[in-house]
Structure 1
Amino acid sequence: MAAIVASATVFTTLHLSIPTTTFLNLPRRHLRSLITSSSLSKTTESNITFAPPKSKTALPKPDSLGDQLFIPWVGPDEKGNLTLQTTPSQRFLKAIAHESTQRKKKKDNPTNKINNPNNAKPVYSKAARRFYNERFREPPQRLAKVLAAAGVASRRSSEELIFQGKVTVNGSVCNTPQTRVDPGQDIIYVNGSRLAKKLPPKVYLALNKPKGYICSAGETETKSVFTLFDDFIQSWNKRNPGVPKPRLFTVGRLDVATTGLIIVTNDGEFAQKVSHPSSNLSKEYIATINGAVNKRHLLAISEGAIVEGVHCTPDSVELLPQQPDISRPRLRIVVHEGRNHEVRELVKNAGLQIHALKRVRIGGFRLPSDLGLGKHKELSPASLRTLGWKS
């Protein structure tokens, strides 16, 4: 280690004392002998000095346009020809300033989120709006019908509310039940409460009516068929959140002692079409008779009877085969008009007494065999078509 330090000292001394040209021209063997002899004659002490560091010369600052870095700009000259320029055009500078100003305004504008095109409602073409209005949007309806469909009251009670001046349309009292309104566009108030813009959807239900229930509401002394739909109405909000509950009513009626098929809906137009005699929908009943039945009874029933001042005749009368589990005879009677107590009057006019009466079919829809008493099921589009209704 000491020899290495001594060699380095001698080499430094030689480097400082011998001219550079002489030192570089020496052969390697002469240089080795020179360093060895110098190390023997010189002491280990040496004075090493270093040259001061060179100061960094600062770059001159550009003081004129010619000393600056040249950035070429291509732009039109006074004659409109494209030329190479040293500065951008005034039009370009104004555009940059305008863009920065507008960007700052958009950033500071609190309504920027509201005016954001991504949050705006979609704009549909005239053809798309026409297609929707012709096929999906319901036309304006009579005010009384809208109130009844919204579940405010029955149509007759809704007309009374309108006549009493308790209904306003767009801020004005309306006394005409025939006024055409659109719940989605018009603002309707009933007794100070606003009517929902969205009406409940159409509901079509088939009920197997038990004995002892009437087909109207409001009478507390007798059970109503609408009490059989309490669970359906109570669970409506869970199945249809935000949609008003439908106001249900029966299509036609069955007397309190008659069981079987009855249609329940909130569609007044459907109910009127199905129950009207012009629909030509037949209704089939099964009548269980007390006592024996013979051909004379069947002939008397087929000849008809006077019901509500009108002579009514059935479409067909048939004695059903005897069954082991049923001791009483049964008749299948098909009628079209369906007047009040028509089947009972036909059987009574033939000298027979009805033990039980059940309706099993309306039009092409038959009461499902698995539908228990007091139960209901929703009608499918195919079932509605059997009733002559195209939904």
Structure 2
Amino acid sequence: MGSVSVAAAASLSSLYHLSSSSLLHSLRLIPLRTLPRISCCLSSSSSSSSSSSSSSSASSLQFNISFAPPKPKPKPTESDQPLTLADLQAGPNGQLFIPWIVRGEDGNLKLQMQPPARLLHSMAHAETKNKKKKKKETVEKGEPKHSKAARRFYNENFRDSEQRLSKILAASGVASRRSSEELIFEGRVTVNGSVCNTPQTRVDPARDIIYVNGNRLPKRLPPKVYFALNKPKGYICSSGEKKSVICLFDDYLKSWDKRNPGQPKPRLFTVGRLDVATTGLIIVTNDGDFAQKISHPSSNLSKEYIATIKGVVNKKHLIAISDGTVIEGVHCTPDSVELLPPQPDMSRPRLRIVVHEGRNHEVRELVKNAGLDIHSLKRIRIGGFRLPTDVGLGKHIPLRQGDLSALGWKS
């Protein structure tokens, strides 16, 4: 019995070694990557010496192994070729080019002679952005905007405040520009202790000591003021007269010190003139530059009048007024003539006449040349500013910045 069992064990071991060696041999012969599927089978049999007559039981184990298909290799390009020293020195005169190290689409780093396309695109986009920003900055710098307080601070502390002596005297309220020049010619004005006979001498009242007729000129100039006055009949536009329109501002000037402590009083005068019998809108100010700008013919400001006529107005009268007339050797024609509709409280006809020449008694001469007589004449508009209807005769209102702009003035 012992010899039989030994022989059976030897046969089983040889069978096991044979099956293992054959399996290894088969795995070595067949490449793994070429097989999409591999099946392996191992079998083992056992017998017991005590139960020789019983049937042998066999067990089998099966393994299924699958492999993914191989990835296709990317085709080699010119940039994938390795760079040599000759390539780096391919420029003129043997110039050395610095290669770019970039990551390709396959995820690997590589060398190339040209910078990446993304970098070139971003650099071009950044240049266009910077150019646009510079243009915006130049536009903003060309039109600086400062507040009113900042402009006042600059004018008081840094701006050159020297002006002509005659202009300083007129702005200080001593006299008109022409009268100030006469005072200077007469030797009644001294600057820093010396008599000055030249009206064009540039002085600064804040630094120079100026005397007029023995009285010290204030260091600070009065602020500029602008008024719209509804002139009544019987007042003249000249300053210093008994019944001047400036007399209508006496109450305003008397309360000046309470409203503006420490500031000198302004010397007021009219912009242009209205004759004694004419009523309506007239501008009063102490700004000589403003008055010269508004009253000069180059401003081309239109003026609107309402003329109340004695008698009856016919079509031929309107045509005669539209044809114009000669005043001081110049043929003057109105911009427009219109017969206003009658009103219940006014029995006399009224004409709206718009002129821009500004000649002396121009409207009266136009109506007179047509064979009509004027009962009353009133000016209601200058440029783009119209006299408010709630301003009574002899009353005045201050002009705001919008009103000055309507008159064509930019401060």
TM-score between the two structures when normalised by the length of structure 2: 0.62
How much has 1:135 moved relative to structure 2?
9.7
Secondary structure class of the residue paired with 1:332? strand
Provide the C-alpha distance between the structure 2 equivalents of 1:134 and 1:243, rounded to a whole number of angstroms: 14
Query: Match for residue 317 of structure 1?
Result: 337
How much has 1:136 moved relative to structure 2?
7.5
Query: Match for residue 104 of structure 2?
Result: none
Whether 2:323 is the aligned partner of 1:303: answer: yes
- Specify which of 379, 386, 391 is matched with residue 366 of structure 1: 386
How much has 1:137 moved relative to structure 2?
3.8
Query: Match for residue 170 of structure 2?
Result: 148
How much has 1:242 moved relative to structure 2?
1.2
Aligned length: 262
Cα pair distance change 1:187/1:135, threshold 3 Å = closer
Provide the C-alpha distance between the structure 1 equivalents of 2:157 and 2:298, rounded to a whole number of angstroms: 27
The unaligned stretches of length 5 or more in structure 1 are 1-127
Query: Match for residue 240 of structure 1?
Result: 260
How much has 1:160 moved relative to structure 2?
1.2
Cα pair distance change 1:301/1:189, threshold 3 Å = same
**Who wins on radius of gyration, i.e. which is larger?**
2
- Specify which of 201, 211, 218 is matched with residue 189 of structure 1: 211
The unaligned stretches of length 5 or more in structure 2 are 1-149
Secondary structure class of the residue paired with 1:297? helix
Provide the C-alpha distance between the structure 1 equivalents of 2:401 and 2:157, rounded to a whole number of angstroms: 18
State how 1:1-391 maps to structure 2 within 5 Å: 132-133=154-155, 137=159, 139-220=161-242, 223-391=243-411
Q: Which amino acid in the other structure matches residue 377 of structure 2?
A: L
How much has 1:218 moved relative to structure 2?
3.0
Query: Match for residue 82 of structure 1?
Result: none
Provide the C-alpha distance between the structure 1 equivalents of 2:285 and 2:198, rounded to a whole number of angstroms: 26
How much has 1:138 moved relative to structure 2?
5.8
How much has 1:336 moved relative to structure 2?
0.3
Identity percentage of aligned residues: 81
Secondary structure class of the residue paired with 2:222? coil
TM-score between the two structures when normalised by the length of structure 1: 0.65
Secondary structure class of the residue paired with 2:219? coil
Provide the C-alpha distance between the structure 2 equivalents of 1:378 and 1:219, rounded to a whole number of angstroms: 23
Query: Runs ≥4 in structure 1, deviation > 6 angstroms?
Result: none
Q: Which amino acid in the other structure matches residue 299 of structure 1?
A: I
Query: Match for residue 61 of structure 2?
Result: none
Provide the C-alpha distance between the structure 2 equivalents of 1:264 and 1:236, rounded to a whole number of angstroms: 16
How much has 1:139 moved relative to structure 2?
3.6
How much has 1:185 moved relative to structure 2?
1.9
Provide the C-alpha distance between the structure 1 equivalents of 2:382 and 2:409, rounded to a whole number of angstroms: 12
Provide the C-alpha distance between the structure 2 equivalents of 1:137 and 1:385, rounded to a whole number of angstroms: 24
Cα pair distance change 1:135/1:320, threshold 3 Å = farther
Cα pair distance change 1:133/1:207, threshold 3 Å = closer
Superposed CA deviations along residues 97-132 of structure 1, whole A, max 9, x for unmatched, are: xxxxxxxxxxxxxxxxxxxxxxxxxxxxxxx99x82
Superposed CA deviations along residues 218-240 of structure 1, whole A, max 9, x for unmatched, are: 334xx211111110110011111
How much has 1:171 moved relative to structure 2?
2.1
